[in-house]
Amino acid sequence: MKLAVLASGYGSNLQAIIDATKRGVIDGRVVLVISDQRDAYALKRAEKHQIEARYLNPKNYASREDYDSAVIVLLKERGIDLVVLAGYMRLLSPVFIDAFPGRIMNIHPSLLPSFPGLGGVGQALKYGVKVSGCTVHFVDENLDTGPIILQEAVPVYDDDTEESLHQRIHSVEHRLYPKAIQLFVQGKISIEGRKCIIHER
Ligand code: GRF
């Protein structure tokens, strides 16, 4: 299985995914990393592992659809089976979703459908929930609404800052995302309506 990871920032989830492929926790390879940010550390991580790293500048494209079409060309050329969003800060256009139906995953740092969109960790903290967590889901045309693959809860403590809570969530993400990707690779996920069925044996 050929994986592509799209990332805008630090790329700690990308790193966890690369490590999982090296350890054989994921039976697949990350063959392409794409970023919309020139300085994304995720691109450096890819280069360190001899993975093709591409920066596409959104300013060079007239519309979101044009940008996504350029990304799609790259993904198709490389024969990508699964597109993994890891801290990718752009909303995908329908053109993108239609090009990879049921083959785009995202991770979000809250228990969806609570606290979607930007700043999920801060939103949870501000609301005062005692439990938050992270969600791996398939991507559809709306923000953080696609069928949920895996979720895991994380406690919220009274003295948590956004940073401390995000750190706790991150460490769960680094385990949960590779697990969800491997379930996909093994063909163990089917989608019925907006529900994912996991076929574990
Ligand atoms: C993660 O918390 C993920 O849930 C969210 O963006 C963050 C990316 O972190 N979508 P990193 O770049 O993988 O370190």
Q: Any idea what the CATH number is for the domain that residue 166 is in?
A: 3.40.50.170
> What domain range is 2 assigned to?
1-101
- Look at ligand 1, atom 14, and give the residue with the nearest C-alpha: 12
Ligand 1 binding pocket mutation candidate from 5, 6, 12, 17 (most atoms within 8 A of CB): 12
Same domain, 119 and 96: no
Domain boundary, last residue among 101, 131, 159: 101
State pTM to two decimals.
0.97
**How many A from CA of 13 to the centre of ligand 1?**
6
Same domain, 113 and 95: no
Q: Distance (Å, rounded) from C-alpha 74 to C-alpha 157?
A: 43
**How many A from CA of 68 to the centre of ligand 1?**
20
Task: With both helix axes pointing from N to C terminus, report the angle between 120-127 and 162-185 in degrees, rounded to the nearest 10.
Answer: 130
**What's the pLDDT at 40?**
98
**What's the pLDDT at 201?**
66
List the Cα angle 112/113/119 in 5-degree steps. Answer: 65
Same domain, 110 and 185: yes
Q: Distance (Å, rounded) from C-alpha 69 to C-alpha 56?
A: 11
**What's the pLDDT at 200?**
83
Q: Evaluate: CB of 168 within 6 angstroms of ligand 1.
A: no
- Look at ligand 1, atom 9, and give the residue with the nearest C-alpha: 87
Total number of domains in the chain: 2
Same domain, 3 and 97: yes
- Look at ligand 1, atom 5, and give the residue with the nearest C-alpha: 87
Same domain, 55 and 142: no
Same domain, 110 and 91: no
Tens-digit pLDDT profile for residues 76-127: 999 999 999 999 999 999 999 999 999 999 999 999 999 999 999 999 999 9
| Segments in the chain below pLDDT 50 | none
**How many A from CA of 170 to the centre of ligand 1?**
7
Q: Which residues are catalytic?
A: 108
Residue 119 zone, left/alpha/beta (φ > 0; ψ -120 to 50; rest): left
